Structure formats: C-alpha cells, structure tokens
C-alpha cells in the first residue's frame, strides 16, 4: 500500500512532466470535452492504424487529477484496440492511477476517459 506522501510525490512528478502532452502529428482521430463543473477542457488526439492505437497525445488545461489521469490514460492505451480502450471504466482508471479517487473528484479522474469514448 502506498503511503500518502509517496503517492503525492508520484502524482506531482507526472503532473510536472505531463507525458504525452502536445499535438500529435499524423492524427487520425480526435475529440475534446469540457468538464461542465469547472470548465477545464482537454483534447485527445490519436493515431489509429488497423483499429489499434499507435500513438496518443492530449492538449488543454485541467487540475492535477484530470491532467495526471489523462496523461496516464494516453500512455496506457498505446497498443490497445480503440474499441477495447473505449470500453474501459472507472475501475480501469483507478487501477492505472493506483488508487480509488474519491467521489467528489470523479469527474476530474474520468475527464480523459470520457473524451476517449467520444473519439472518432
């Protein structure tokens, strides 16, 4: 079990590095969505070949939780079939983050996943 401080350190490290943040050259799919509660918004761009996600990036602005979960999500989906990635749930996001996000921050945690489900 991770202690709170180790968890916070990891999260803040990912937040400052923002892996996969930026525009994707050669994108084939995209979608963007605003969290209605806070106006934070991300856009996800994918490069899909033969139904498989070859690359993924995101742009936009969000809080620590939404940024980190979208960064991790765009990393984990590389190599997956788009149809499988779009069937993922909160349980998968909890697993990726290594924690269960409290209900009040659920919209932040799931913003990236909701965008992924709208990608076409």
Minimum Å gap between C-beta 46 and ligand FES is 21
Within a 10 A sphere around the Cβ of 90, how many other Cβ atoms? 13
Instruction: Give the number of residues in contact with ligand FES, rule: CB under 6 A.
Output: 9
Minimum Å gap between C-beta 80 and ligand FES is 24
What whole-number distance in Å separates Cα of residue 2 and Cα of residue 49? Answer: 37
Could you say which of 53, 108, 115, 119 contacts ligand FES (CB under 6 A)? Answer: 108
List of residues contacting ligand FES (CB under 6 A): 35, 38, 40, 62-63, 65-66, 108, 111
């Amino acid at each position: 079990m991770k202690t709170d401080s180790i968890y916070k350190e990891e999260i803040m490290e990912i937040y400052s590095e923002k892996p996969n943040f930026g525009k994707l050259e050669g994108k084939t799919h995209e979608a963007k969505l605003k969290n209605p509660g806070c106006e934070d918004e991300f856009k996800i761009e994918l490069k899909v070949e033969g139904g498989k996600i070859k690359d993924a990036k995101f742009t936009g602005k969000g809080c620590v939780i939404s940024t980190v979960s979208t960064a991790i999500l765009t990393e984990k989906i590389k190599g997956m079939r788009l149809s499988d990635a779009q069937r993922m749930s909160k349980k998968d996001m909890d697993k990726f983050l290594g924690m269960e996000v409290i209900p009040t921050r659920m919209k932040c945690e799931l913003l990236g996943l909701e965008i992924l489900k709208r990608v076409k």
